[in-house]
């Protein structure tokens, strides 16, 4: 049987595919922009009559139809590997939960998990002439998911960009029609837009102007999620830097802009020179147009991309991420507000560690010095200790550069009192005296250090 005949034999309606999900099943729901659309719409009325279904996914860019049924908590649990704002609301409503795990561990976790994976459903590109469906901009952990799932359902989207693997043939970027159980021809929705052009704040620009001078020519870049890393990317695009490389967890619009200015060629990279490497991508249409069949761009499984050992092999690795807050000991929280989950661990610690180990590497934790609560109260992001219940994303032994609009400090190798002094120096001036008093109470302040 030829590939096209095999394709036709597995082609089913979304409603037919949804029938495979039973009470008590574990269902993998793709990742970010590859989350299923037609399958989700067909499954919603069915799941309303089931119990104990467990879904896994992450970075939801839209509200799934299954979330819209009456009393979803009575029928399923959403288990997120990394939460978007939509998933935070699900958590608040009692049917969503975060699964703490370093993102780099996902492929291995799926292969070793005691939880049986019953169904996997996600969007893919149309089948190519060799019978393969491409995972689009989300190689991520899909190869491992497909190895472990009892039933694999692919939802074809003609608008999904096709992205190459490390050598053009890697299995971690595609799946063959022979290994697929059901094929849905979806409504071909536009790929979800995440991020986009928002005007940077004065704080974002001030932080960017402190970070960019620390980046050497030939550096390899990783940018985290959020407005501040993207603003830094925009400033890099306007800078005189050259011969830059990319090796990042998430590929965002800023990289497209930097490449458009001719600053990225990967010529100095010590791992996959000449290639921009990422685990998954999400942005605006210009990103999807840029990565589509672009030989300079590579997506690969996150177990390799985010591996500290991979990152450490890349010279002059520059990791740029943001955070919720940091304490005077140098502990970084990038994923919660007290006990309230905001996002997830992702790969931040992997890249902080990788940059720490890279020859010439630097990691930057960037944040505004203050934030304003819903009640209008201004609070410092630099705190004496993290809020009770807050998660330590990056331990104090791994934190390097910390940057606010008031300055930057490299904590690597500093003693406790030097860290406290350095962090207080870049805190908002309105909070410095209070922080000094707190540091004195905690025994990490020297009298001669008072600013």
How many domains in the chain?
Answer: 2
Cα 258 → chain centroid: 20
Closest Cα to residue 301, out of 279, 329, 271, 323?
A: 279
149 neighbors 120 (Cβ within 8 angstroms): yes
Residue 192 lies in a domain: no
Residue 392 lies in a domain: yes
Check residue 190 and report its DSSP letter.
Answer: P
Per cent of the chain over pLDDT 70 is 98
- Do residues 216 and 248 both lie within one domain? yes
Residue 402 lies in a domain: yes
| Of the listed ranges 162-166, 225-229, 394-398, the one predicted with least confidence | 225-229
- pLDDT for residue 31: 96
Q: Using 50, 70 and 90 to split pLDDT, how confident is the model at 448?
A: low
**List 249, 335, 405, 421, catalytic entry:** 249
Residues of the domain holding 46: 3-185
Phi and psi, residue 28, nearest 5°: -90, 130
- Do residues 82 and 169 both lie within one domain? yes
- Do residues 360 and 249 both lie within one domain? yes
- Ramachandran category for residue 188: left, alpha or beta (phi over 0 → left; psi -120 to 50 → alpha): left
Residue 191 lies in a domain: no
23 neighbors 43 (Cβ within 8 angstroms): no
- Do residues 390 and 326 both lie within one domain? yes
What is d(CA 145, CA 351) in angstroms, rounded to the nearest whole number? Answer: 24
- Do residues 175 and 208 both lie within one domain? no
CA angle 154, 157, 161 (to 5 degrees): 110
- Do residues 282 and 411 both lie within one domain? yes
Across 112-132, average pLDDT: 94
pTM to 2 decimals?
Answer: 0.94
- pLDDT for residue 225: 77
Q: Check which CATH number belongs to the domain holding 106 and give it.
A: 3.40.1080.10
What is d(CA 113, CA 59) in angstroms, rounded to the nearest whole number? Answer: 21
pLDDT at 450 over 70: no
Q: Using 50, 70 and 90 to split pLDDT, how confident is the model at 227?
A: confident
79 neighbors 97 (Cβ within 8 angstroms): yes
Across 380-394, average pLDDT: 95
Q: Check which CATH number belongs to the domain holding 419 and give it.
A: 3.40.1080.20
401-442 pLDDT per residue, tens: 999 999 999 999 999 999 999 999 999 999 999 999 999 999
What is d(CA 293, CA 137) in angstroms, rounded to the nearest whole number? Answer: 11
Structure-token match 């410092």, residue found: 380
245-298 pLDDT per residue, tens: 999 999 999 999 999 999 999 999 999 999 999 999 999 999 999 999 999 999
Beta bridge partners of 319: 222, 363
> Which H or E element spans position 155?
strand 151-156
Of 158, 185, 212, at which residue does a domain stop?
A: 185
Across 15-19, average pLDDT: 98
- Do residues 242 and 120 both lie within one domain? no
What is d(CA 327, CA 420) in angstroms, rounded to the nearest whole number? Answer: 9
80 neighbors 87 (Cβ within 8 angstroms): yes
What is d(CA 242, CA 219) in angstroms, rounded to the nearest whole number? Answer: 9
Across 47-64, average pLDDT: 97
400 neighbors 362 (Cβ within 8 angstroms): yes
- Do residues 56 and 131 both lie within one domain? yes
User: What's the mean pLDDT when you consider all of the chain?
Assistant: 94
Residue 194 lies in a domain: no
pLDDT at 197 over 70: no
Per the model's pLDDT, the better-predicted residue between 57 and 450 turns out to be 57
Pull the structure tokens for residue 294.
Answer: 């672009």
Residue 193 lies in a domain: no
Q: Using 50, 70 and 90 to split pLDDT, how confident is the model at 168?
A: low
pLDDT at 61 over 90: yes
Residue 352 lies in a domain: yes
CA angle 125, 126, 128 (to 5 degrees): 110
Distances (CA, A) of 438 to 18, 162, 290, 384: 57, 54, 50, 6
pLDDT at 198 over 90: no
220 neighbors 245 (Cβ within 8 angstroms): yes
- pLDDT for residue 196: 64
- Do residues 231 and 122 both lie within one domain? no
What is d(CA 214, CA 363) in angstroms, rounded to the nearest whole number? Answer: 10
- pLDDT for residue 233: 86
- Do residues 288 and 160 both lie within one domain? no
Q: Are strands 336-337 and 174-176 parallel, antiparallel or unpaired?
A: unpaired
- Do residues 230 and 368 both lie within one domain? yes
249 catalytic? Reply is yes
Of 185, 213, 247, at which residue does a domain stop?
A: 185
Residue 190 lies in a domain: no
SS3 321: strand
Of 120, 150, 185, at which residue does a domain stop?
A: 185
- Do residues 57 and 146 both lie within one domain? yes
39 neighbors 66 (Cβ within 8 angstroms): no
- pLDDT for residue 56: 97
């Amino acid at each position: 049987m030829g590939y096209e005949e095999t394709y036709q034999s597995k082609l089913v309606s979304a409603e037919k595919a949804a029938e495979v999900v039973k009470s008590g099943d574990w269902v993998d729901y793709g990742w970010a922009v590859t989350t299923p659309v037609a399958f989700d719409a067909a499954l919603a009325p069915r799941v309303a009559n089931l119990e104990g279904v467990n879904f896994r996914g992450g970075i939801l860019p839209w509200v799934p139809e299954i979330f819209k049924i009456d009393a979803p908590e009575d029928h399923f649990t959403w288990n997120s590997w990394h939460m978007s704002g939509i998933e935070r609301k699900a958590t608040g409503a009692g049917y969503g939960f975060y699964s703490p795990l370093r993102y780099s561990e996902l492929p291995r976790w799926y292969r070793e998990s005691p939880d049986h994976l019953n169904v996997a459903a996600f969007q893919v590109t149309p089948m190519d002439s060799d019978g393969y469906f491409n995972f689009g901009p989300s190689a991520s952990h899909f190869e491992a998911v497909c190895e472990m799932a009892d039933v694999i359902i692919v939802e074809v989207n003609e608008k999904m960009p096709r992205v190459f693997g490390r050598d053009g043939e890697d299995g971690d970027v595609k799946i063959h029609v022979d290994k697929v159980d059901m094929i849905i021809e979806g409504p071909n929705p536009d790929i979800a837009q995440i991020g986009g052009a928002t005007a940077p704040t004065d704080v974002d620009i001030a932080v960017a102007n402190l970070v960019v001078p620390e980046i050497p020519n030939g550096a390899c870049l990783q940018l985290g999620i959020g407005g501040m890393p993207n603003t830094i990317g925009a400033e890099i695009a306007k800078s005189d830097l050259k011969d830059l490389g990319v090796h990042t967890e998430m590929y965002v619009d800023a990289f497209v802009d930097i490449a458009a200015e001719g600053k990225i060629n990967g010529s100095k990279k010590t791992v996959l020179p000449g290639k921009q490497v990422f685990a998954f991508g999400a942005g605006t249409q210009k990103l999807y147009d840029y990565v589509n069949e672009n030989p300079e761009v590579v997506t690969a499984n996150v177990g390799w991309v985010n591996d500290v050992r991979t990152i450490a092999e890349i010279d002059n690795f520059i990791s740029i991420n943001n955070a919720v807050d940091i304490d005077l000991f140098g502990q970084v929280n990038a994923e919660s507000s007290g006990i309230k989950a905001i996002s997830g661990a992702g790969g931040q610690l992997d890249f902080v560690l990788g940059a720490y180990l890279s020859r010439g590497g630097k990691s930057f934790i960037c944040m505004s010095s203050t934030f304003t609560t819903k009640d209008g109260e201004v609070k410092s992001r630099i705190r004496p200790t993290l809020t009770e219940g807050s998660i330590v994303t990056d331990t104090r032994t791994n934190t390097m550069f910390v940057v606010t609009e008031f300055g930057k400090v490299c904590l690597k190798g500093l003693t406790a009192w030097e860290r406290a002094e350095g962090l207080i120096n870049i805190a908002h001036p309105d909070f410095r005296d209070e922080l000094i008093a707190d540091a004195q109470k905690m025994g990490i302040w020297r009298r001669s250090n008072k600013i």
